[in-house]
């Protein structure tokens, strides 16, 4: 119940980032930044819940740690998808949005 939603969200972000890059779709690319924040929250929530489970069931510590690593790597997929989307915006509109919370005039 923790990993599967993250996997779906991360893979959808990756597909959309590639689609935005291929089609030079600036709006689709810009829509990825807020979705990355959602994935960040999902990762933080998964970490909290897994830490709670570790305390309740220390014999399963290794399994819970593996799940935490999986969650972290899925969060990184979202980060990479966001980077691809930022590159898509630059390629299509010659606008560098890498260090902006949202693109100028589009928040």
CATH number of the domain residue 51 falls in: 1.20.58.220
Q: Is residue 102 in some structural domain?
A: no
Q: Residue 82: inside a domain, yes or no?
A: yes
Q: Can you give the pLDDT of all 107 residues of the chain as single tens digits? A: 899 999 999 999 999 999 999 999 999 999 999 999 999 999 999 999 999 999 999 999 999 999 999 999 999 999 999 999 999 988 876 665 666 765 444 44
Burial class (CB in 10 A: 0-12, 13-18, 19+), 26: buried
Residue at 98 is within a domain: no
Task: Give the span between the Cα atoms of 47 and 65, in whole angstroms.
Answer: 9
Where would I find the H helices in the chain?
3-23, 26-30, 32-56, 61-93
Sequence-separated (6 or more) residues with CB below 8 Å from residue 48: none
- Residue 71: domain span: 3-93
- Quick one: pLDDT at residue 91? 82
The tally of domains found in the chain comes to: 1
């Amino acid at each position: 119940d923790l990993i599967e939603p993250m996997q779906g969200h991360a893979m959808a972000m990756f597909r959309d980032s590639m689609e935005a890059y291929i089609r030079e779709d600036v709006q689709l690319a810009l829509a990825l930044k807020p979705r990355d924040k959602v994935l960040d929250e999902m990762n933080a929530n998964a970490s909290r819940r897994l830490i709670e489970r570790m305390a309740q069931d220390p014999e399963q510590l290794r399994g819970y740690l593996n799940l935490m690593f999986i969650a972290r790597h899925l969060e990184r997929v979202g980060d990479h998808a966001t980077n691809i989307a930022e590159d898509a915006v630059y390629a299509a509109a010659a606008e560098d949005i890498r260090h902006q919370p949202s693109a100028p005039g589009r928040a």
